[in-house]
Amino acid sequence: VDDIKVNLEQIVQALIDSRKNKKDQTEEIQKSLIIIADKRTDFNLLSPVIRAAGQAGFESYKFAVMPGRLAGQ
């Protein structure tokens, strides 16, 4: 979280807090999470985040790659 090493419980809490900030959004948006990564990101790093998101109440996930963050750039 913000480039600080955290444990699974801290990830869950950060995601719960994130959902609280979406209260004025539709329920669909409240339960959606966009995960930003690139193809160099090991799934072993993403797996705990996805698991934590489920525990925090997120039901749908989208993956996004930011321009300029592709491998080799």
d(CA 28, CA 60): 9
pLDDT in tens, 17-71: 888 887 788 888 888 889 888 778 888 888 988 999 999 889 999 988 766 555 5
What is the pTM (predicted TM-score) of this model? 0.67
How does 59-73 read in b/e, with b if 16+ C-beta sit within 10 Å?
A: eeeeeeeeeeeeeee
What pLDDT score does 2 carry? 64
Confidence of residue 8 (pLDDT cuts 50, 70, 90): confident
